[in-house]
Amino acid sequence: MKRTTLALAFTFSFAPASAALAEGKSVHDGKWEITTNTQMPGMPFQPPPRTHTQCLTKKEAVPQHAPHGPQDCKVSDVTMEGGHVTWKVKCSGAHPAEGKGEVNYHGDTFDGTMTMTAENPRTHKPMEMTHTMHGKRVGECEEK
- One pLDDT digit (tens) per residue for the chain, 144 residues: 444 334 434 444 443 443 333 344 568 899 999 999 999 887 778 889 999 999 988 888 888 764 445 568 889 999 999 899 999 999 888 778 999 999 999 989 999 999 999 887 778 888 899 999 999 999 999 876
pLDDT of residue 60: 82
Task: Yes or no: say if 49 and 11 are a contact pair by the CB < 8 Å rule.
Answer: no
pLDDT of residue 71: 64
Straight-line distance from the first to the last Cα atom of the chain, in angstroms, rounded to the nearest whole number: 39
pLDDT of residue 144: 61
Q: What's the whole-model pTM score?
A: 0.75
Asked if the structure places residue 9 within a domain, the reply is yes
Sign of the alpha-carbon torsion through 133, 24, 60, 139: negative
Using alpha carbons, select from 136, 131, 68 the residue that is nearest to residue 100.
Answer: 131
Asked if the structure places residue 144 within a domain, the reply is no
Asked if the structure places residue 73 within a domain, the reply is yes
Dist. CA 113–CA 98, nearest whole Å: 14
SS3 string of 19-72? CCCCCCCCECCEEEEEEEEEECCCCCCCCCCEEEEEEECCCCCCCCCCCCCCEE
Structural domain count, the chain: 1
Distance (Å) of CA 47 to CA 1, 23, 30, 61, 87: 13, 35, 28, 25, 24
Asked if the structure places residue 51 within a domain, the reply is yes
pLDDT of residue 54: 92
Asked if the structure places residue 6 within a domain, the reply is yes
Quote the domain boundaries for residue 51: 2-139
pLDDT of residue 92: 86
Asked if the structure places residue 32 within a domain, the reply is yes
pLDDT of residue 108: 94
Asked if the structure places residue 39 within a domain, the reply is yes
